[in-house]
Structures are given as structure tokens and as C-alpha cells.
Chain A
């Protein structure tokens, strides 16, 4: 324990130098702005800014890049709440209740609780990394393909619970999402699937393209066809910051979200995406009145936002302690380290203690800065909603197009947002919800690849999913959740029979 404090002390002495503080601030600011712009994600930004860091000290450079990463997580929720566009898989959930809150004139409260919840989660996650980083690494290693598959099955069940309306429609959307995820080159055989020979489909559909089209563009189309709702967003601004009642409702979801997010963030292969979904599911199940969810429940913003940020933070654990990147952003951080002459691996902690502890300390400082940057910005963002919609929507569309083009420089990506926008609009009109589709899409690839990998390793025996205790436990939880989700509708069906 004494070690921990002296190490943290060492870390803060590095992170608190004038230069590193400035870099952390710069990273957080850039990250926030990038997160707010739809489409321009942390991956594109870090890749673009990598050369600029050449002249910096490695520690400072990595502190700045890390700042961009979690800054973008904060900024991403802003767009999700204000204009219903999830920039990343992790902010899909925030659109559900966050945007509803904005429509009810509670955008400031939603943004405020998201920032405060994220700050709390970030603080806890920093402590977790500092104190338990090394032992927790083992958790990443016991997660093989079978465990991963079962975790993804559990994730799909969350998608069912997410649905507000018909369960059947939700399942249809999940399946459609999984199908969309199979577009592209097959990993095991190299065969192209569902690409119709079109070269730009050979690497599959980009998440940002799908999300922006099916959420953002579809939302614009819907707003344009009925006028009253959008006026509501403009007229009533309401309070800017959450009050005591809001905090009373939110503190438990934030605690639970932090725990779930922190655990899932450690897992390899991007387990962090599940965090917000898991938190939302849990809050909806625990709520006295689940019907409030999807209509602007503050718990549905506070919990998932905390889970999101906790996961973003703890996903540094496999990178810092093992040198293994759990997702694309972390892979980029590996590149940044190697460019700066630090070969990431299990030795980083002992060989480069300055980097290791300096980064951990800077995470907390970065979170504090983000809170300071974001709370005053809430007012600015909320005022943005006052901009007349006929000026607002062309701007949103333009930013979407620029953002999406900047990812792969492909004109086809821009056309695809339009296509998915129309698809999304039709789905809304028929009462299908896009969130389960996106979750199916995100999990589909992981689901399929890990299923096949596990079956190859077990030489085709399905027993592997039950024989491995963690996998079996996850499947059991999934089964229980599914029954809980289906029970009300089955009971309702029976009631209706009795009424007749």
C-alpha cells in the first residue's frame, strides 16, 4: 500500500509539470471538440496528430494522446444528447434517454449528469488501474474465444431488454444488425461475403457510417416531417445543471455503471462496448417504473455514461501491463509508444515507471480538466439548440459528411449515410427501433468470429461453452435475463387472452 502511494506520488510529480499539464489540457480540449463533431472519432484524430508528437517527450506525447481519447468519450455524449447521433458504439445508449431529455428541455441536466457521472467513474477507474492493474491483467488472459462468445450472447440479450416496444420487432432488428455485420471479407477463409463484388464493401460497413445514417440522418428526416416536436427542443431550455433531486436519482446508477464498465473495460477484444448497454439494462430492470426508460429517465443517462468512461479508462490496463491493445484506439497508442522508442510490453511498468505512473496520474487530472471544460460548455451547447432548425440541420448534415469522409476518404461512405438515413427513416415509421440494430451490428462480428474460433479450437464440440466455467456462467446469466425480459410480454399475452 505504501508502494502504491509513493508510486502515485511519483506519477503526480511527473503529470503535474507545466508542460505535461498543458499537454493534458490540449489533448482533452481537442478530444472534446473532436468528440462533438459527428464522425471524426478519436482514431482518426490520434492518427492525424501522431506526427505532431514527434518532437515531444514520450510521456508528454502519450498523455496528450490519451487525453484526446477520453476527451472524445465526453464529447461524444454531447452529440448523442443534443442531436441524437452516436459518434461511437459506446454512446448509442446515451441517445435513448439523453436525447429524450433534451427534447423535454432538460438537455443541460442530461449533459451535466453525463459529465459528473463520467468524472466520478474516471476517478474510480484511475484508482482501480493504479491499485489493481497488474493482478487484473490475468482476467484478460483467462478470457478465451468460448468466454467471449458467451459474453456476446449476453450482450445480445441486453439488446432485447433495451427495446421499448415490441420484443419481436427488437429481435428482428438485432438479427438484421448481426447480418449487416457479416458483410465483408471473412476472417478465416478470406472469402468475400455479401459485397456484390463492390470493392468498398470488402472491409465491411463502418460503424460510424451506419450509426450516423440510421440515427442522425433518419432523425433529421423525421424532424422535418413533423414540426411540433422540434419546437419543443427549442423553446424550453430549462435548468442548466442537475439539482439535488437529479443527484438522488443518479448516484446509485453511477456507482453501478462504474463497476460494470470498469470490469468490462479490462477484457480484451473491446469488451468495453458492452459496458453502457449492460448498465442500461441493469437500471431498467432495477427501476420501480421501467416504462420511464426511453422517455427521458435520468438514470438511463447517468449509469451508461459512467460505465462508458470507466471502461474507456480501464481498457488501458491490458495496454499498460501487457502491451496488448484491446481495441483500435489502444492499438494506435501502441504505435505511438513504439514511435517514441518505448516498446510496449509487460516490462513497461518496471522499465519506464515515469511513463506508467505518469500516465495513470494524468488520467485523473485529465478527467478533472474535462469536468472543468465541459460544465461551462453545457450552456454553450444548450444555446445551440436555440438555432432555428432550418439552419441547424444543413450544418449537422455537412459535419456528418465531412466527418465520415475524413475517416477513410471514401465518397461511397458519404453516399452510404444517405442510404442508411432513408432506411432508418422507414424503420422509425414502421415502429422499429435502431438501437438494437446497432448493438447487433457491433456484437455480430465478435459473436461470429469467437464462435468459429471456439469451435475450431474444440474441434467442433459445442460442450466447450458449458465445460468452461466462466462461459457457462455467462450463458446462464443470459438465459435468466432473457426469461425476465420475455415474462412480462408472455404474461401480458395471457392477460389479453383472459380479457377476451
Chain B
């Protein structure tokens, strides 16, 4: 009797699942953003999600689950039902740096997800206090190399983008400045503007207004091309520094086991959002970079995650950075 009931229940589930796939989505979709509302990843998620909602005909509801450098929210997302109704916005930290920073991480960025697609990247800017005694990136790098731990580098806490990219920067230029941790970018910027700390690396959306306002100076942008938001700031390559090209990318993931039709449907909505003029403009206004069509596929996102884990793990391990 019980077996029959079970079989019936299983059958019922299977048919309802099949139906669900056919006319997915039938109810609102939750998108977990693993950071507090208001940060760059949250803003990108909301802008992209807004447009995707219209394509899918169902609202994408952003749920902010902050904590432990974003890994709390992503852990929850990875363990959610793979039915397409829970997706998440991962980023460079949660799907690149996290395995090195959190030895007890409960998910594997390259194995436990069904990648949907890359949403937007925000380039990293190398900025310093207004009075920093250097004119250009070359002079800046020389100064940091020569003065070593006399130079203070600010970052927004272990596991933050500014922390990982800052460590990467110091490993590229082979210098060891003193690290000063802040709780978030705001307080760090405040002390950078007050001449208390010397430099930091952070996402363009966080620091560009202060550069435009002349409160801090920018030495270079760590991308292949200049940003329209700050056309006067040279790329790292132009300024003579090789090997430091880094961007805080944000990408949509679903839990592993999400049916391929649903993945395809979500990807389609994402691609459509990224080609929408209004959405594009809002992302570009933030200093964001829209991925090329080739970069928008699930397969290329999978590759990106694998290459990012491979890139960040040795850099962060060598610096002895861990969050446990």
C-alpha cells in the first residue's frame, strides 16, 4: 500500500515537474544576491533582473543573503531545488576567490552549478590618495616597491573584491605594502580621501565619482580598453604594467541539476536583457562592461569559472590569505 502511494506520489511529482518545464516560469523566480542591498552586484542583479522579468513574464525577486564574503548566499542557492525558481548572482569572489579563502567551503564553483551566463563586469581601478607622490602608474609602482611596508593599502575586508584584487596587484608588482582592513568600501574611501591610507584597488562603480571629483587620483584601469566613464585613465597595459588585467565579473547561476530547457530559457532572457538599449545604458552608466555575445553562453561561463579558480587560488594561497 505504501509502495503504491509512494509510486503515485513520485509519478505525480514527475508529471508536475514535466509540466513545470513546459511552461516555465509559472511563479516568481527568486534571485539570491549574496551581498547586502545597494552594492555593485546587487545593483547589477536588479537592473538585469528587471529586464529578464519582462521577458519571462514572471517577476524575478531579489533576495539579499549577505555574509561570509558572499558564500553564505551562494551555499544556500547551491542547495536549493534545481527547478529554475531559485537562481543566484555569483561573482568573482564567490566563484573564483572563495575556494582559496574558505577551506571549508560547502560548494565547488565549477561542479555544483548550472551556469546561466555572464551578466556584467565592473573593471578594477588602481586609485591613490590625492597627495600621493607619483605622477603615473610607473612612478606609483616604483614608489610602492621601494617603500614596501611603509605604504598603506586599504581594502574592504577579507574576501572582498578590493582585498583579492589588491593582493593580486601586490603579487604582480612584487611588493608588500601594509594592509589595512575596513568594513566595506565606504569607510575605506573615506580614509583614502582623508589621506590616512595611500592606495587601494576597487571596482570602478565605487571609486569613479571620487576620481571625477578630484578627491583621489586614478593611475590605471585593469582592463584591455579604457572606460567611457573615465576616458583619461590609461589601461594597465598602456601605462606599462603587464599581467594585471582583472575585472569583478557578475554572472547568473542556477543550482546543479536544473533542467537544460530551463537553463536555455533563462540564458535567452539574460541575453535579451543585455542587448536591450535601456538596460545596457544603465549598466554602462555604472562603468560596467557588457560581455560579448560569445561570452554570454553557459559554456563560456563554465570555462570562466574554472579559469578564475585556477588564477585566484595560487595568488591568494601565496599571500596566506584565508577567511577561516
A residues near B (Cβ < 8 Å) are 46-47, 50-51, 54, 140-145, 185, 187-192, 199, 202-203, 268-269, 318, 322-326, 328, 331-336, 338-339, 341, 343-347, 408-409, 449, 453, 456-457, 459
Contacts and interface: CB of A to CB of B under 8 A. Distances in A.
Contact of A345 (B36, B46, B213): B213
Q: Which 3 A-B pairs have the closest CB atoms?
A: A345-B209, A335-B38, A190-B158
Nearest to B184: A331
B187 A335 contact: no
- Max chain B CB contacts within 10 Å: which of A51, A140, A449? A51
Given A202-B68, A343-B205, A347-B213, A457 B183 contact: no
B96 to A, nearest CB: 16
Contact of B43 (A141, A145, A322, A339): A339
Contacts of B187: 268-269
- Max chain A CB contacts within 10 Å: which of B43, B101, B187, B323? B187
A203 B186 contact: no
A187 B46 contact: no
A346 B180 contact: no
A331 B186 CA distance: 8
B62 interface: yes
B183 A187 contact: yes
B285 A343 contact: yes
26 contacts: A46-B37, A50-B46, A51-B46, A54-B46, A54-B50, A185-B68, A185-B323, A187-B183, A188-B179, A188-B181, A199-B68, A323-B210, A324-B193, A331-B36, A331-B39, A332-B36, A335-B43, A339-B46, A341-B285, A343-B209, A343-B285, A344-B209, A346-B210, A346-B213, A347-B212, A409-B65
Given A188-B158, A341-B285, A453-B180, 14 more contacts: A47-B36, A142-B194, A191-B324, A199-B72, A318-B190, A322-B190, A323-B210, A331-B39, A331-B184, A339-B46, A341-B282, A346-B209, A456-B178, A457-B180
Contacts of B67: 202-203, 408
Given A203-B68, A343-B285, A332 B194 contact: no
Contact of B209 (A142, A203, A331, A347): A347
Contacts of A192: 324
A461 to B, nearest CB: 14
Given A50-B46, A323-B209, A449-B183, A335 B322 contact: no
A457 B197 contact: yes
A335 B180 contact: no
Given A339-B47, A456-B180, A143 B209 contact: no
Contacts of A331: 36, 38-39, 184, 186
B286 A145 contact: no
A328 B212 CA distance: 25
A150 B102 CA distance: 34
A51 B285 contact: no
B212 A190 contact: no
Contacts of A453: 180-182
B215 interface: yes
A50 B215 CA distance: 30
Contacts of A142: 194
B53 to A, nearest CB: 9
Interface in B168-198: 178-184, 186-187, 189-191, 193-194, 196-197
Interface string B24-63: 0000000000001111001100110010000000000111
B60 to A, nearest CB: 9
B159 interface: yes
B191 A324 contact: no
Given A192-B324, A345-B213, A334 B38 contact: yes
A12 B37 CA distance: 30
Given A268-B187, A335-B37, A338-B205, A187 B157 contact: yes
B196 A144 contact: yes
A189 to B, nearest CB: 7
A143 B158 CA distance: 23
A51 B190 contact: no
For chain B, which range describes its interface: under 10, 10 to 19, 20 to 34, or 35 or more residues? 35 or more
Interface in B209-238: 209-210, 212-213, 215
A192 B282 CA distance: 38
B152 to A, nearest CB: 6
B219 to A, nearest CB: 19
B37 A50 contact: yes
A144 B154 CA distance: 13
The majority secondary structure among interface residues of chain B is: mixed
Contacts of A54: 46, 50
A338 B43 contact: yes
B64 interface: yes
Given A339-B43, A343-B285, A190 B324 contact: yes
B274 interface: no
A333 B36 CA distance: 12
Nearest to A141: B194
Contact of B190 (A190, A268, A345, A409): A268
A203 B209 CA distance: 30
A145 B65 contact: no
A346 B285 CA distance: 16
A491 B61 CA distance: 62
B141 interface: no
A140 B294 CA distance: 46
A337 to B, nearest CB: 9
B193 A141 contact: yes
B273 interface: no
Contacts of A325: 38, 186
B321 interface: yes
Given A343-B285, A346-B209, A190 B42 contact: no
Contact of B159 (A141, A190, A338, A339): A190
B190 A324 contact: yes
A50 B72 CA distance: 22
Nearest to A335: B38
B38 A333 contact: yes
B208 interface: yes
A144 B323 CA distance: 26
A336 B38 contact: yes
A332 B181 CA distance: 21
Given A51-B62, A331-B36, A335-B38, A190 B205 contact: no
Contacts of A143: 194
Interface in B65-86: 65-68, 72
Contact of A47 (B37, B184, B215, B286): B37
B282 A145 contact: no
A189 B65 CA distance: 23
Given A190-B158, A335-B39, A47 B46 contact: no
A51 B180 CA distance: 35
